[in-house]
Chains A and B, each alone.
Chain A
C-alpha cells in the first residue's frame, strides 16, 4: 500500500479488514504523506498529558512518538539506565526515523521521557521545542490556573512558530473533532463489555495506537465505518476475560499472546489505552480552562496519582464494569512511575479478590517466557481441578 493510499479516507483504503496494525506500522509514511498533501507541520509529542487539541487547532498533525525496537547501539552514548521504550525512542529519533517531525513537545511527566526529549534538543537544534508544565499535584486549587496558563503559553509559542493565531473558532473545531473521536473510541470500547465481545484486545490496542498518530478527522471517518462493521460481526466464543494494567505499551504483542492462549483482553488501564480517550472536554466559554480541566481530570497516570489516590478505584471500576476474570500487571523495567505505584494496586486487587499476575517486561517481550506465565495464570482462572477437567473445551473453542 503506498503512502498516498493510506490517507485516503474511510474503509475503502483499509479494505474490509480494518487493519489498524498496519496503520501503526506505516505511520511514518502516513505523516510524510499528510505533510506533502497539506503543507502543515507535524508535531511529535511525548506525554499522555499533551493537549493535542491546541496543536490541531493550529493546523498541525500531532503524532505520538511511539517506541519501536530496532538494534540499538547508540542510545548508551546519550542516556544511562532508562526504560527500554525511552531508549527505543532515542534510538529511533537519532536514527532519523522521525525526520518528518518539525517540532517536539514534552509535558511534565515521566523523567525518562523527558530525557529522550532533552537528548533531542541537544541533537536537532533546528526543531521547535516546547516543555509544558502540567502540575504533578493535579488537585490543588491553583493547578487549573497553572495548567490553563501553560496552555496559553503553548498557543502563543505556536503562533510565534507558525505565524498564525489560534482563534476560538479553531479551538472549538479542534475540541469538537477530538471529543467526537474520544466518543467513538468509548463507543467501541463499550462493546468489550459484552459477554462475547466482537472486538479483540489486540485489535482495540492497535486501533488506539493508530488513533494517536493519525489526523483525528480522518480517523473519525474510519471509526464510524468500523463501528458499522462491528455491528455486523458475530460474537466470538466465550473466553477468559483479562485486563492489562501498568506501564505504557507500544504494540499489541501482549494482547496477541493472550489471544494465542484462547483468552481475550477486554479492558485496560494504560496511558496508551483507555486512559487516552476516557474523558471529554466539557465546553465552556474559556476554552483553555475547559482543556485544562479535561487534562487534569483525565484518569491519573501513575506518576500523577500521588496525593489523593484515584487510580486503584478507577482500575477497580473498570475491572468490575468489564467483568474481568483476572488482571495482568505489567511493568517496564526501570519504569519508576509504575515501579512505585504497584503497592496500592496490589492492595486493592487483593482486598477485592481479583486475581492478578505481576511481571516485568522490556519493550520486547520474551515470548516463550511470557506465554508460560500467561498459560499458568489462565489455568489458575479456569474452573476445575486443572484445565483438563473439560472446562477448557468451552473456552477457546467454538
Chain B
C-alpha cells in the first residue's frame, strides 16, 4: 500500500471520494488522479444522518466541480460509516488515518488522531514488533465535543480557545494541579480542571468561572486537561515510536491544545495542513487503491 501508487501513476482522470462521517462533522475529500480537487464539511447529524452525509458529499462535489457520476469509487469511514448508504466500501478510522498520514506526512512513525469522539494512536513497527495502536478508554471519549462545548460556554469560538496558548507557558505537569485549586491556586495562574474525566472537568471549569477565574484561564485549564487525556493514550503504546509524531483530527487545529500536549508529553508534534480531513483523505486514497 505505497502512497506513491495512487499519488503518482493513477489512471488518467480517476476520481474517487472519501467520506469521514464523524460523530459531529462529516468531512469529504474528492481526489482526481491522486490530487485533492474538492472538499466538503458539514454536521453529521443523527436522525437525519443519511441526508446530512449526502449533503456534505454534494458540497465536496460542487467544490470539485464534478458530478457524482464521474466518481469511480467512494469509501467511507468514521463513526457514521454505516449510514452512508450510497458509498461503496467502509474502512476503519485507523486504516483511513494511517493511509492519509502516509501521504500527508511521509516518514511518520506515530500518528495521533484526536477528534470529537475518539482518540487513536498508532505506532509503526519498532524493532521486531508488529506495530500497534491504542484507542482512548471510554472515560475519555468525546474530548472534541467537550472542548467545543467549553468554548461555547466561555463565549469563545474554537479559534479563540486555540489561540490561548500564545505567550503563556503551560505549567509543568508536576505543578499543574494540586487539587482543583479554587480559588487560591487559580489566582496564582494555576487554574486546573480534572484531567481524568470530561464530566468532572466541566464541573470544575464551571466552578472556576463561579469563583471569578477569567475565561482565558479556564480555557487554558480545559486545553491542558484534554492534552493529558490524549497523552495518556499515547503512553498506552508498549513500543512507542516517537521519532516523528503526526497529529491529525479536529483537535489538531487547536494550537493551545497542541502546545499543551507537547509540553506534557515531551513529544514534538507535526500537524499537517488540513489535519481534520485526514480520515476523509485516507478513505479517498483507499477508494483509489481499489478502483485501480
Q: Determine whether A and B are in direct contact in the complex, meaning some CB atoms lie less than 8 angstroms apart.
A: yes
Which residues of A are at the interface with B, using a C-beta cutoff of 8 A? 68-74, 76-77, 80, 84, 87, 95, 253, 362, 364-369
Q: A169 CA to B214 CA in the complex, in Å? A: 62
Which of B177, B229, B264 is close to A69, meaning CB atoms less than 8 Å apart? B177
Minimal Cβ-Cβ distance residue in A for B179: A364
Q: Is B137 an interface residue (CB 8 A)?
A: yes
Chain A residues whose CB sits within 8 angstroms of the CB of B179 once the complex forms: 69, 253, 364
- Given A71-B173, A71-B195, also A366-B180 (CB < 8 A): yes
Cβ contacts under 8 Å, A71 to chain B: 173-174, 176-177, 192, 195, 224, 228, 264
Closest to A77 in B: B235
Question: Once the chains are docked, how many angstroms separate the CA of A74 from the CA of B233?
Answer: 9
Q: Interface of chain B, helix or strand or loop or mixed? A: helix
CA distance A253 to B185 in the complex (A): 15
Q: When A71-B195, A365-B180, A367-B180 are in contact, do A80 and B210 touch as well, CB less than 8 Å? A: no
A71 to B174, CA, bound (A): 7
Whether, in the assembled complex, B178 has its beta carbon less than 8 Å from a beta carbon of chain A, the answer is yes
- Size class of B's contact patch? 20 to 34
Of the A-B pairs whose beta carbons lie under 8 Å apart in the complex, a sample of 10, sorted by A's number, is A69-B177, A70-B178, A72-B196, A73-B231, A77-B236, A87-B196, A362-B196, A362-B200, A366-B180, A366-B194
List the B side residues contacting A84 at CB < 8 Å.
Answer: 196
Q: Are B178 and A68 in contact (CB under 8 A)?
A: yes
With beta carbons under 8 angstroms apart, the residue of B137, B176, B204 that contacts A366 is B204
B14 to chain A, nearest CB (A): 43
Residues of A within 8 A of B229 (CB): 73
Do the beta carbons of B173 and A70 come within 8 Å of each other?
yes
Q: List B residues 179-204 near A (Cβ within 8 Å).
A: 179-180, 182, 192, 194-196, 200, 203-204
Task: Please tell me if B64 contacts chain A, counting CB pairs below 8 Å.
Answer: no
By beta carbon, the residue of chain A nearest B180 is A364
* Among A71, A76, A366, residue most surrounded by chain B Cβ atoms (within 10 Å): A71
Residue of A nearest to B176 (CB): A71
B235 contacts A73, C-beta separation under 8 Å? yes
Given contact pairs A71-B177, A72-B195, A366 touches B235 in the complex (Cβ within 8 A): no
Which residues of the partner chain A approach B58 to less than 8 Å between Cβ atoms?
Answer: none
Picked from B174, B178, B194, B236, the residue with its CB within 8 Å of the CB of A76 is: B236
Whether B207 sits at the interface, judged by CB under 8 Å, is yes
B232 at the interface (CB under 8 A from A): yes
Q: How far is the CA of A313 from the CA of B173 in the complex (A)?
A: 44
Nearest CB of B to A112, in Å? 15
Shortest CB-to-CB span from B209 to chain A, Å, is 10
Alpha-carbon distance between A364 and B193 when the two chains are bound, in angstroms: 10
In the complex, which residue of chain B has the Cβ closest to the Cβ of A366? B203
Chain B residues near A77 (CB, 8 Å)?
232, 235-236
A76 touches B176 (CB 8 A): no
**A369 contact from B195, B203, B265, Cβ within 8 A:** B203
Q: How far is the CA of A196 from the CA of B16 in the complex (A)?
A: 80
Pairwise interchain contact A70-B174, C-beta atoms closer than 8 A: yes
